[in-house]
Chains A and B, each alone.
Chain A
């Protein structure tokens, strides 16, 4: 107390001093006076609000000598320049005072950054994160990501820590014994796949009589008589039809549905209700049949080619519902895994060819490793639930009965399986391609390494290093390892070496501010846009030096964006920017929401493909805050109440005003992520907007914030808005929540899974009447809005905050380091360029890549 009094007196003195010499230029001592006057109460003397303490700044007179001080000054600068500090209720500096200190600090910071370089980006290495590691392994070894993609190996690596929101930032990417062990294991596994020693390829085929009209006729006559078409134990006839394995798309109803489909009068459906919901809303009835053939023995993991000739047949009524074929791969008799889904065109014979990777699970005691083909044919029947006025729980008139499904059938001509085929498709990349040996084995190994190491290390590799690995090989041979094993061990050493594991900035010669070597630039570029290593073309351009020419660089960027591999950019950047990786963190309460895995995938898919669409077409980044379109597939369009979108693929769909959609804040994914399992969370939504759209993240709650419910009895009885008002009466909460909560309410018209609503009917509805949604909200700048449509308009009116936020996030992700003071000038420049060029995303990326921040240390 006494201390703080002293400081107050000091502050008054400082105030006097400032008043006496107002014209004095900003220098070290006046800066200290400012800090003492406005900051010390909360940030010095043992106090460190927001985990921030400025005491070191007073410790020595020339406070800008060390980089630690500069870092503190940088944060002070940031707070003051954005007007975030001092807090509202505290004494405020005048506009002149604020400008003087901000300008002064800016000068100090930029001066020291430029000359001494202590705060400049220095050369650094960062470990590949798990996605990059996986992708690089595949690309270096020539293993196709598409083929292996259905079982991501990175699931076996622990998730990496994100710093400043992204797992590309080197600071968070630790190395521990666990990582090393797992890297060893993964490298071994991939090498096993890539080092293909020419396994014998086998061929299996199952033929069925070409189903002719006779079969069809027989089938239809049976159908009319209502007989079962296939009895237990009968040989598969090559005809697949849809029988009683039906279910609705909400698995919870499955049991009732299955039982009830058996009854002609469907009486059970009339009597059941679930917690106030009608049993049937609009929905999809799914029926399927399975087809399983053969047992074939797979002794080697590898690539297998499946060919299936079949057609989905049309009957007189006409085939309305598309039929899809799901191909399962099976590790053993009981465990199958869905590998692919293929849409069957109606009434056309077609040979479907699939390339699948088959892997043997760990061989189990007493198991044989027989595998078989399992196909599941699948059709959906959409129906409409009871309309208003109809009795609740009444079965929808459109709900199919038992017999309806025989209208669909699939005929199979033959099934072929061939394999294992070479895992590495591209000749050029095959490690064992130049074998068997007709030359001296060291010559062969030297050849392999000369091709392999530059690719793996993403740079030119000196002869000594190649010789080093040749010696490794010799050491293995000396230990009596067979040729293949010795070569594999040698390559494995390369794959866990720092040259491979770390994105490297040629440390020997690099100085802060110096331009990156072309190879380092190629790596930075490819890890940014592809989350993987540079390809042949990039490496060649690096070697020739052409990559450093701005025009060539831009051409490469455009090429890379159009390449399939740029999907990794959406997958990794957009997923982290918009927190999409958290979408499966919590399942909505099944009693309250109709939610399933397919919807979850569609939600994620919408946002990712939306991002990709903007990227590939060089659209404006403002589409992220407002757009009259999105990328929808059937499931998500359904969810939004938009008809006539059919099939699993995502396509551009235009919104009408009555859909109330547009921008990512209208995406169900984002709305779901920012909700609890029983209700929406305006707080989480407010934080999301501040953090990811406006770039103004609030501080994390204090460690012991506790549960509000425990402090305020009867909290459940009131509306959510009222609950949060009560919450803001708690002083320690109000400081941040005054800013967070109001903006979150703008999205209250979307429920916890992103469906439009007019009433708050979530979670606690049983204890209070369902209130009409009140979506009035206040933006941080004080503008009043009502609902998401006005929020979008308001954001579009002043897009600078968003632009700045987006560019900052992109920079962090691209550079793989936390931002520094000098980066902000670059960000400001990029924002200007955007503004003058219709906010085009492709252009932004080109500008970023050709910027100093990206091309220098």
Chain B
């Protein structure tokens, strides 16, 4: 395996290397066209408060299903989507907290742990400018059980998301001028030396300490190392040109979600990143009232209408990805997408009176043809036992991760690949 050597490793590793202070091996691996073909993209799109069940779930299963009223807009993409019905996460909890654990499959009552997108980062994110992107309707991390982000790091700490389309655009596509470049370089250098200094200080303290304290300091040291790696990466990318894009897409979307989808499409197309999580709506909205529909027709109608709008926007994204040529076909074929919610606000697949459970959550899988994903079907898992986590295993496995597992889940979802 090709693993970048840090400068520090070199310096501390042996004096022979000292005469060659900067080796190519220390740079992040360059992006090569031939490699793009072999590495997939992953996209996770979450929306809040579930759906109007009876309008969402198709009546038939298997290949010959008819699109339901809500999913009608996906008809043109029939061969590129799979409706996943009946999946759940392992832990029962209030559905309004579902976003916190949507990608972590953890117990919302306890402390969170790493999300699937972050698990894929070492494999898919090391040779692109942004190892992963977190987009959201609200920026930052939010609160526990009311997250603003779908992504969580190794320690279960939420990774702050970005919401302002223009900031995202700037980060992805706007090159800094010469002055700010020089400033940025000096800043990174200074940070590196600060961190280096801290490492020495901490190691000195650590030697004089008992075990309970050294745990926190070890964490601290590990963190220093990781930040240093991030800085090295940032340095290496600093002077590489950013891909070009027209800022007009920020105005052209119409709906705020459409604008984000435009950015997502551009980010994936330009290979700025391969992994994106996007929390497209949060639980505290007007729609929240409707999700407690109690079986009332007018609320259900409002829910169904907003579902339809969601799906239409999503369908537009799929069209865009499909229209983007990429290695071995189009971008959609190279992107594995999960689109869905974390809550079932009906009774089973019926509307019922609204339960806010986290079993039988509405999900759509899309894309990934070049990686062996089988689409064009309605997969039904009525047993309340098959888990969403298995979808993650399939994705990791298809992405080529060695030893593809996700926490307690070891097997992928049958029928999806």
B230 touches A703 (CB 8 A): no
Residues in A whose Cβ lies below 8 Å from that of B143: 159, 581, 585
B247 touches A184 (CB 8 A): no
A707 in contact with B92 given A176-B219, A497-B198 (CB within 8 Å)? yes
Q: Is B265's beta carbon under 8 Å from chain A?
A: no
Give complex CA distance A398, B113 in Å: 56
Residues in A whose Cβ lies below 8 Å from that of B157: 158, 174, 176, 178-179
Distance (Å) between the CB of B369 and the closest chain A CB? 34
Q: Is A463's beta carbon under 8 Å from chain B?
A: no
Residues in B whose Cβ lies below 8 Å from that of A591: 289
1/0 contact string of A459-488 vs chain B (CB within 8 Å): 000000000100010011001010001000
Residues in A whose Cβ lies below 8 Å from that of B186: 479, 481, 485
Contact of A586 among B142, B190, B288, B352 (CB under 8 A): B288
- The A-contacting residues of B in range 134-170, CB under 8 angstroms, are 140-146, 153-155, 157-160, 166-167, 170
Q: Chain B residue with minimal CB distance to A706? A: B92
A677 in contact with B144 given A362-B170, A492-B194 (CB within 8 Å)? no
Number of B interface residues, CB 8 Å?
A: 68
B247 touches A181 (CB 8 A): no
Stretch from B32-40, B73-81, B205-213, B331-339 that touches the partner:
B205-213
Q: Chain B residue with minimal CB distance to A363? A: B170
Give complex CA distance A173, B155 in Å: 11
- The B-contacting residues of A in range 659-689, CB under 8 angstroms, are 677-678
Number of A interface residues, CB 8 Å?
A: 70
Give complex CA distance A184, B193 in Å: 13
Q: Is B286's beta carbon under 8 Å from chain A?
A: yes
Q: Is B253's beta carbon under 8 Å from chain A?
A: no
Interface hub of B91, B154, B222, B223 (most chain A Cβ within 10 A): B223
Q: Is B407's beta carbon under 8 Å from chain A?
A: no
A125 touches B213 (CB 8 A): yes
Interface hub of B153, B158, B194, B222 (most chain A Cβ within 10 A): B194
Distance (Å) between the CB of A449 and the closest chain B CB? 14
A493 touches B197 (CB 8 A): yes
B353 touches A709 (CB 8 A): yes
A177 in contact with B197 given A125-B216, A764-B294 (CB within 8 Å)? no
A176 in contact with B109 given A472-B197, A589-B292, A677-B288 (CB within 8 Å)? no
Residues in B whose Cβ lies below 8 Å from that of A123: 210, 213
Distance (Å) between the CB of B146 and the closest chain A CB? 6
A481 touches B205 (CB 8 A): no
Q: Chain A residue with minimal CB distance to B90? A: A703
Residues in A whose Cβ lies below 8 Å from that of B294: 678, 716, 763-764, 766-767
- The A-contacting residues of B in range 105-120, CB under 8 angstroms, are 107, 109, 111
Give complex CA distance A587, B160 in Å: 24
Q: Is A502's beta carbon under 8 Å from chain B?
A: yes
Q: Is B347's beta carbon under 8 Å from chain A?
A: yes
Q: Is A276's beta carbon under 8 Å from chain B?
A: no
Q: Is A851's beta carbon under 8 Å from chain B?
A: no
Residues in B whose Cβ lies below 8 Å from that of A126: 216
A489 touches B355 (CB 8 A): no
B197 touches A122 (CB 8 A): no
A156 touches B216 (CB 8 A): no
Give complex CA distance A30, B174 in Å: 75
Residues in B whose Cβ lies below 8 Å from that of A590: 286, 289
A176 in contact with B155 given A161-B111, A479-B190, A703-B90 (CB within 8 Å)? yes
A703 in contact with B92 given A498-B202, A587-B284 (CB within 8 Å)? yes
Distance (Å) between the CB of A786 and the closest chain B CB? 30
Residues in B whose Cβ lies below 8 Å from that of A225: none
A507 touches B194 (CB 8 A): no
B227 touches A177 (CB 8 A): yes
Residues in B whose Cβ lies below 8 Å from that of A640: none
B217 touches A178 (CB 8 A): no
A710 touches B347 (CB 8 A): yes
Residues in B whose Cβ lies below 8 Å from that of A764: 294, 353
Q: Is B96's beta carbon under 8 Å from chain A?
A: yes
Give complex CA distance A176, B159 in Å: 11
Residues in B whose Cβ lies below 8 Å from that of A125: 213, 216
Contact of B223 among A177, A472, A492, A700 (CB under 8 A): A177
A502 touches B216 (CB 8 A): yes
Distance (Å) between the CB of B7 and the closest chain A CB? 15
Distance (Å) between the CB of A609 and the closest chain B CB? 23
B347 touches A709 (CB 8 A): yes
Distance (Å) between the CB of B259 and the closest chain A CB? 15
- The A-contacting residues of B in range 76-109, CB under 8 angstroms, are 90-92, 96, 107, 109
Distance (Å) between the CB of A465 and the closest chain B CB? 9
- The B-contacting residues of A in range 554-599, CB under 8 angstroms, are 581, 584-587, 589-591
Residues in A whose Cβ lies below 8 Å from that of B146: 584-585
Q: Is B239's beta carbon under 8 Å from chain A?
A: no
Q: Is B372's beta carbon under 8 Å from chain A?
A: no
Contact of B160 among A158, A175, A365, A496 (CB under 8 A): A158
Distance (Å) between the CB of A299 and the closest chain B CB? 15
Contact of B92 among A181, A492, A705 (CB under 8 A): A705
- Give me the interface of A with B, judged by CB distance under 8 Å: 122-127, 155-159, 161, 170, 172-182, 184, 362, 364-366, 468, 472, 475-476, 479, 481, 485, 489, 492-493, 496-498, 501-502, 507-508, 581, 584-587, 589-591, 677-678, 700-701, 703-707, 709-710, 716, 763-764, 766-767
Closest 9 CB pairs of A and B: A177-B226, A158-B141, A493-B194, A176-B155, A175-B219, A180-B223, A707-B357, A489-B190, A177-B223
9 pairs across A/B with beta carbons < 8 Å? A178-B153, A364-B170, A472-B194, A472-B197, A479-B193, A507-B208, A507-B210, A586-B283, A709-B347
- Give me the interface of B with A, judged by CB distance under 8 Å: 90-92, 96, 107, 109, 111, 140-146, 153-155, 157-160, 166-167, 170, 174, 186, 189-191, 193-194, 197-198, 201-202, 205, 208-210, 212-213, 216-217, 219-220, 222-224, 226-227, 230, 247, 283-284, 286, 288-289, 292, 294, 296, 347-348, 352-353, 355-357, 359
